[in-house]
Amino acid sequence: MRFVVRLGTDCNPTFGGKSPEILTVLDTLVLSPDEVCGIVVGPNCGDPYNPLDNWNVTFPNVPQPAPVPPIPPKPGSPTLRVLHLSDTHYDAHYKAGSNANCGEPLCCRQDDGVPANTSDGAGKFGDYRNCDTPLWTLENMLQKLSAEKDTFDFIYWTGDLPAHDVWNQTRQDQLNILQHMVSLMLKYFPGKPVFPSLGNHEGAPVNSFPPPYITGKYSISWLYDALAQSWSNWLPKDVIALVQKGAYYTVSPHPGFRIISLNTNYCNSGNWWMLINTTDPTGELTWLIKTLQSAENAGEKVHILGHIPPGDQGCLKAWSWNYYRVVNRYQNIIAGQFYGHTHYDSFQVFYDETTLSKPVGVAYTAPSVTSYPGLNMGYRFYTVDGVYKGSSYQVLDHETFFLNLAKANVEGKITWEFEYSAKATYKMKSLYPSDWDNLIKVMMANQTVLETYNRLYFKSVHSGACDYTCRYARLCETRSARSSDPSLCKDLKV
Ligand SMILES: *[C@@H]1O[C@H](CO)[C@@H](O)[C@H](O)[C@H]1NC(C)=O
Ligand SMILES: *[C@@H]1O[C@H](CO)[C@@H](O)[C@H](O)[C@H]1NC(C)=O
Ligand SMILES: *[C@@H]1O[C@H](CO)[C@@H](O)[C@H](O)[C@H]1NC(C)=O
Ligand SMILES: *[C@@H]1O[C@H](CO)[C@@H](O)[C@H](O)[C@H]1NC(C)=O
Ligand SMILES: *[C@@H]1O[C@H](CO)[C@@H](O)[C@H](O)[C@H]1NC(C)=O
Ligand SMILES: [Zn+2]
Ligand SMILES: [Zn+2]
> Can you give the three-state secondary structure of the chain, one letter per residue?
CHHHHHHHHHHCCCCCCCHHHHHHHHHHCCCCHHHHHHHHCHHHHCCCCCHHHCCCCCCCCCCCCCCCCCCCCCCCCCEEEEEEECCCCECCCECCCCECCCCCCCCCEHHHCCCCCHHHECCCCCCCCCCCECHHHHHHHHHHHHHCHHHCCEEEECCCCECCCHHHCCHHHHHHHHHHHHHHHHHHCCCCCEEECCCCCCCCCCCCCCCCCCCHHHCCHHHHHHHHHHHCCCCCHHHHHHHHHHCCEEEEEECCEEEEECCHHHHECCCHHHHHCCCCHHHHHHHHHHHHHHHHHHCCEEEEECCCCCCCCCECHHHHHHHHHHHHHCCCCEEEEEECCCCCCEEEEEECCCCCCCEEEEEEECCCCCCCCCCCEEEEEEEEECCCCCCCCCEEEEEEEEECHHHHHHHCCCCEEEEEEHHHHCCCCCCCHHHHHHHHHHHHHCHHHHHHHHHHHCCCCCCCCCCHHHHHHHHHHHHCCCCCCHHHHCCCCC
Evaluate: CB of 446 within 6 angstroms of ligand 3.
no
- Ligand 2 nearest-atom number relative to CA 120: 2
Specify whether the CB–CB gap between 322 and 288 falls below 8 A: no
* Cα gap 189→187, rounded to integer Å: 6
- Index of the ligand 4 atom closest to the CA of residue 277: 1
- Half-sphere exposure of residue 116: CA atoms within 13 angstroms, side-chain side: 0
Could you say which of 1.10.3720.10, 3.60.21.10, 3.10.20.30, 3.40.50.970 is the CATH number of the domain covering 79-94+132-428?
3.60.21.10
Q: Whose CA is nearest to atom 12 of ligand 2?
A: 117
Residues 6+ apart with CB under 8 A from 120: 99, 100, 101
- Residues 324-361 as b or e (16 or more Cβ within 10 Å = b): bbbbbbbbbbbbbbbbbbbbbbbbbbbbeeeeeebbbb
Q: What is the pLDDT of residues 316-349, one digit of tens each?
A: 999 999 999 999 999 999 999 999 999 999 999 9
Instruction: Judge whether 160 is annotated as a binding position.
Output: yes
Distances (CA, A) of 89 to 95, 159, 414, 486: 15, 9, 18, 32
Looking at residue 275, its pLDDT comes to 86
Instruction: Find the largest Cα–Cα distance for the chain.
Output: 69
Which pLDDT band holds residue 29 (cuts at 50, 70, 90)? low
Whole-angstrom distance, CA of residue 89 vs CA of residue 169: 13
The pLDDT value given to residue 176: 98
Which of the ligands is closest to the CA of residue 372?
A: 6
Q: Is the CB of 119 under 6 A from ligand 2?
A: yes
pLDDT level of residue 8 (50, 70, 90 thresholds)? very low
Whats the size of the chain, residue-wise? Answer: 494
User: Which residue owns the Cα nearest ligand 3 atom 11?
Assistant: 168
Burial class (CB in 10 A: 0-12, 13-18, 19+), 407: middle
Q: What separation in Å is there between the alpha carbon of 281 and the centre of ligand 4?
A: 9
Ligand 4, residue 280: give the atom nearest the CA.
4
Please indicate whether residue 286, judged by its CB atom, sits closer than 6 Å to ligand 4. Answer: no
- Report the separation in Å between the CA atom of 87 and the middle of ligand 6, taken as the mean of its atom positions: 4
> Which phi and psi angles does 88 have, rounded to 5°?
-70, -35
Our answer on whether the CB atom of 9 is closer than 6 Å to any ligand 2 atom is no
φ/ψ of residue 305, rounded to 5: -115, 150
**Annotation-wise, does 343 bind a ligand?**
yes
* Closest residue to atom 7 of ligand 5, CA basis: 448
Please give the pLDDT value at position 338. 99
Sequence-distant (≥ 6) Cβ neighbours of residue 294 within 8 angstroms: none
Q: Which of 422, 484, 490, 414 is nearest to 453 (CA)?
A: 422
Decide if 57 contacts 322 (C-beta within 8 A).
yes
Please give the distance, rounded to the nearest whole angstrom, from the Cα atom of residue 313 to the centre of ligand 6.
15
So what's the pLDDT on residue 53?
72
Pick the ligand that lies closest to the CA of residue 50: 1
To 5 degrees, how large is the angle CA 265–CA 271–CA 277? 95
pLDDT at 44 over 80: no
Residue type, 362: V
User: Could you identify the atom of ligand 2 that is nearest to the CA of residue 117?
Assistant: 1
What distance in angstroms lies between residue 168's CA and the mean position of ligand 3's atoms? 6
Q: Which of 51-55, 239-243, 324-328, 473-477 has the lowest mean pLDDT?
A: 51-55
Q: Which atom of ligand 1 is nearest to the CA of 55?
A: 13
Fill in the amino acid letter for 324: Y
Q: Please tell me the predicted confidence (pLDDT) of residue 51.
A: 55
Amino acid at 339: Y
Q: Are 300 and 333 in contact (CB under 8 A)?
A: yes
Please tell me if the CB atom of residue 153 comes closer than 6 angstroms to any atom of ligand 4: no
Average pLDDT over residues 92-119: 97
Q: How many CB atoms lie within 10 A of CB 368?
A: 29
Rounded to the nearest whole angstrom, what is the distance from the C-alpha of residue 266 to the centroid of ligand 1? 20
More confident of the two residues 414 and 43:
414
Q: Which among 114, 119, 120 is the best mutation to test ligand 2's pocket, defined by most ligand atoms within 8 Å of the CB?
A: 119
At residue 33, the pLDDT reads: 56
CA of 327 to the centre of ligand 3 (A): 43
The closest residue, in CA terms, to atom 3 on ligand 1 is 56
**Per-domain boundaries in the chain:** 9-49, 79-94+132-428
Q: What are the φ/ψ torsions at residue 410 (nearest 5 degrees)? A: -75, -45
117 alpha carbon, closest ligand: 2
Atom of ligand 4 nearest to the CA of 283: 5
Residue 50: pLDDT band with limits 50, 70, 90: low
Structural contact between residues 407 and 415, judged by C-beta atoms closer than 8 angstroms: yes
CA of 122 to the centre of ligand 2 (A): 15
Q: Give the C-alpha separation, 225 to 240, whole Å.
A: 9
Q: Residue 54: which pLDDT band, with cuts at 50, 70 and 90?
A: confident
What is the structure's pLDDT at 21?
A: 62
The larger pLDDT score, comparing residue 31 to residue 431, is at 431
- What is the dihedral sign for C-alpha 316, 320, 322, 326? positive
Q: Mean pLDDT for the chain?
A: 92
Q: For residue 117, report the distance from its CA to the centre of ligand 2, in Å.
A: 6
**pLDDT in the model for residue 476:** 98
pLDDT digits (tens, 9 = 90+) for 258-307: 999 999 999 999 999 988 888 999 999 999 999 999 999 999 999 999 99
Amino acid at 27: D
Question: Which of the four pLDDT bands, split at 50, 70 and 90, describes residue 24?
Answer: low
What pLDDT does 452 receive?
98
**Pairwise CA distance, residues 140 & 466, whole Å:** 33
Query: For residue 443, how far is its CA from the centre of ligand 5 (angstroms)?
Result: 10
Pocket test for ligand 4, best of 279, 287, 316 (most atoms within 8 A of CB): 279
Å from CA of 341 to ligand 6 middle = 4
Pocket lining: 280 vs ligand 4, CB cutoff 6 Å: yes
Residues with CB under 5 A from ligand 7 (ion): 160, 199-200, 341
